[in-house]
Amino acid sequence: MVSADCFDFNGSNVDRSIKYEVYIDRGLNNLTIHYDIETIVVHPNYNPQTKANNIAAVNFNTKGDAGWRNKVAIDFGKWPNRVFVQRVLENPDPIEWDTPVMYVQPTVPPDSKCTELSPLFKENINAVTCCDFTVDPLVKDKTDCKIPYPQMYAWMGADLYQAGIFSHAVIEGGSDFCKYDNARSYYTVLTNYIAFAQTALGKNFDYFGLSETSVPQSDPYFEMVDVPAELDDNVVMLSGDFYSPKNLHVQSASGSGDNGKEASSTGSEDDKNSKSDEKGESDGGSPIPAGDNSDGGSAGPVLTGEHSPNNSEGESSNGSSKKTTIIASVCGSVGTLILVVAIFFTVRWYRGHVSKVHDPYQAPSAQDALVDMFENADDSRPPPEYKVAEDINGISMLVPMGANRSLPNNSRYSDLNFPYEK
């Protein structure tokens, strides 16, 4: 699972002229392999303006022989510790990883600013979580700006379990995102979307809870309570790729005086222009679909996804690709392999910088566990690959659940996902 904001859109469709890739590595050695994303299934009720349901399920390397199981943390709100993690890139070419950086939060104190800045968080406290922690960017020597941690784990027992992914940040005050008054980062809680991802991809997602009787919510149609897209004056929402080392400064995205509507999608007009230049386009088209804030029945997720016709299985392919976007990194550990999503670092422009300096709380035992996760792997084995995907060509959509559910093809993003080629 990754953030839907990982992808560029043409209207309401993911732009598949762009090559989206996954990079995997084993610990801290230099063995890194990349694969093309094959299938993308964006949540049908994803709202690009409010960031509701900012989640997508993806497949890659489905023809590989090896496999592993990733566990998603459930029992949200009961975790002993939240752990925010940022991978560190020692060298982008060739790729060399350094020791990850982490912030351990043993307790989650009340934070009224989280609710004040985000109406979405206020209405979805069981589906979105918030913090004010920031970290150095992927390449530390490029800028002094701090950015949100891309990944959140739950620390239960001796292990860390994937728990949330960065969705968006909201900033109050100022026009330079390295100097501001208040900022909060918001994370999509993954446990709510396990059923969606399982149904969308035809795969099982393992999970871990605090007791043997713990189970995640099982409704694949789960969706957040959406909210109006308008933000207060002097408030800016940022999302997308915070993790590219290329762009070092983002100017004002304070909007056009319309209560921040203009800035509430992904940043400034300069940001949009830089994306168009990067893609070799001159039409200035919007990279994401326009949000739909109208009230309506919920729609079930479509099982088939946008399918890439080419899968290089480790080899780059020029083809019709205009750029490469790295959207994930898989890391080895003793006894478990954890999917680290939302590390995007080579081509896309830096959307914005959240700069609040926050000295991390140091927890040596957690630090040791994290280093073990990335470093102590059996290097004699080949890099991990996904198991062969189950045959889901014959599946077209979910059966709607409940009288108030509309059919998947009535979703406002019903054309978001292309059917599989036969």
The top-scoring range by mean pLDDT among 204-208, 282-286, 343-347, 352-356 is 204-208
pLDDT band at 145 (very low <50, low <70, confident <90, very high): confident
Does 259 score more than 80 pLDDT?
Answer: no
**Span 79-87, mean pLDDT?**
88
Type of residue at 101: V
pLDDT above 90: percentage of residues in the chain: 21
Domain residue limits, the chain: 4-410
pLDDT at 139: 66
pLDDT band at 80 (very low <50, low <70, confident <90, very high): confident
What is the Cα–Cα distance from 3 to 55, expressed in whole angstroms?
Answer: 4
Tell me the per-residue pLDDT of 86-136, one tens digit each, with 9 for 90 and over: 877 777 777 777 778 889 988 888 899 999 999 999 999 999 999 998 888
pLDDT band at 65 (very low <50, low <70, confident <90, very high): low
Question: In this structure, are residues 39 and 305 in contact, taking their beta carbons and an 8 Å threshold?
Answer: yes
pLDDT above 70: percentage of residues in the chain: 50
**Span 341-345, mean pLDDT?**
33
Does 313 score more than 70 pLDDT?
Answer: no
Tell me the per-residue pLDDT of 16-36, one tens digit each, with 9 for 90 and over: 999 888 877 655 555 677 788
Please give the sequence-ordered ranges of beta strands (E in DSSP) within 80-180, or none if there are none: 81-92, 95-105, 128-131, 134-135, 147-148, 151-156, 159-172
What is the Cα–Cα distance from 37 to 18, expressed in whole angstroms?
Answer: 10
Selection from 394, 340, 276 nearest residue 26 by Cα: 340
What is the Cα–Cα distance from 53 to 42, expressed in whole angstroms?
Answer: 9
Categorise residue 309: left if φ over 0, alpha if ψ from -120 to 50, beta otherwise. alpha
Selection from 182, 135, 44, 110 nearest residue 360 by Cα: 135
Angle in degrees, CA 126, 129, 130, rounded to 5:
150
Q: Which helix (H) or strand (E) holds 119?
A: helix 119-123
Residue 215 tokens, joined: 């189970």
- What is the torsion angle, in degrees rounded to the nearest 10, for the CA atoms of residue 289, residue 291, residue 296 and residue 299? 40
pLDDT band at 177 (very low <50, low <70, confident <90, very high): low
Environment class of residue 20 by beta-carbon count within 10 Å: exposed (0-12), middle (13-18) or buried (19+)? buried
Does 56 score more than 90 pLDDT?
Answer: yes
What is the Cα–Cα distance from 386 to 87, expressed in whole angstroms?
Answer: 21
Question: In this structure, are residues 199 and 220 in contact, taking their beta carbons and an 8 Å threshold?
Answer: yes
Average pLDDT, the chain: 63
Measuring CA to CA, how many Å separate 321 from each of 16, 20, 202, 241?
8, 9, 27, 19
pLDDT band at 226 (very low <50, low <70, confident <90, very high): very high
pLDDT at 31: 64
pTM summary value: 0.63
pLDDT at 27: 53
Type of residue at 4: A
Specify the 3-state DSSP secondary structure of 135: strand
Residue 365: how many CB atoms within 10 A of its CB? 10
Does 14 score more than 70 pLDDT?
Answer: yes
CA neighbours closer than 13 Å in the CB half-sphere of residue 278: 19
pLDDT at 54: 96
Does 186 score more than 90 pLDDT?
Answer: yes
